[in-house]
């Protein structure tokens, strides 16, 4: 009985400490994102891609793609500035656990089990910019698909930083019906290689 009570106290304490740490991370990330319209631009872009793909003629699709180019450029520019701003966050506040579930203070007690959120955002900023610049000379349809993957993977990283890897992956499945592995496979090779090297500690 004593062991059961102790286990309950430990579980409750861990939950409360995790919740406190997660609120702190959400507030930190949110304070930086508040200076930009990144979420609004992402929504406009993904909805625009669906609209373009649903058009019945090449001419109408071309018109929508053309209109979306301004939104893409704005998003890349704003996310680049956001990543540069977040890069000034102190390293201890940017450490993110690689573990599947959250444990309090793992960033301080076992930094080898973490990655740097500042570097992750820099990877995503480069990936988004490269798709906008179309360095791979992709068709509009393929470019829209890759950009969507880049944006969703970045969103996954933000949820991971605020909560945990498991929760981030569950949210991707619930909101976009897309597993994390599919996102990683769908971004550019440059993003994928840099991202995997970072989260795997290579």
Query: Structural domain boundaries of the chain?
Result: 2-199
Average pLDDT value over all residues in the chain: 88
pLDDT tens digit string along 91-146? 999 999 887 776 666 676 667 788 999 999 999 999 999 999 998 889 989 999 99
* Long-range residue pairs from 66-75, CB within 8 A, at least 24 positions apart, any chain: 71/41, 71/44, 71/45, 72/45, 72/131, 72/132, 72/147, 73/132, 74/37, 74/41, 75/38, 75/41, 75/42, 75/45, 75/128, 75/132
CA distance 140 to 49: 9
pLDDT tens digit string along 139-190? 989 999 999 999 999 999 999 999 999 999 999 999 999 999 999 999 999 9
């Amino acid at each position: 009985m004593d062991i059961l009570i102790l286990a309950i106290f430990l579980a409750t304490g861990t939950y409360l400490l995790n919740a406190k740490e997660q609120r702190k991370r959400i507030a930190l990330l949110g304070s930086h994102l508040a200076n930009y319209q990144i979420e609004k631009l992402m929504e406009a872009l993904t909805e625009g891609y669906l609209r373009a793909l649903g058009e019945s003629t090449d001419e109408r699709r071309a018109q929508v793609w053309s209109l979306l180019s301004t939104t893409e450029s704005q998003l890349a520019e704003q996310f680049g500035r956001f990543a540069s701003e977040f890069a000034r966050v102190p390293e201890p506040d940017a450490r993110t656990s690689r573990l599947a579930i959250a444990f309090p203070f793992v960033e301080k007690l076992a930094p080898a089990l973490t990655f740097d959120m500042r570097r992750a955002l820099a990877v995503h900023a480069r990936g988004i910019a490269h798709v906008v610049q179309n360095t791979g000379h992709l068709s509009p349809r393929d470019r829209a698909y890759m950009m969507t993957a880049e944006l969703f993977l970045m969103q996954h990283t933000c949820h991971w930083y605020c909560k945990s890897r498991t929760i981030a992956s569950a949210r991707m499945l619930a909101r976009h019906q897309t597993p994390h592995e599919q996102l990683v496979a769908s971004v550019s090779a440059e993003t994928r290689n840099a991202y995997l090297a970072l989260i795997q500690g290579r």
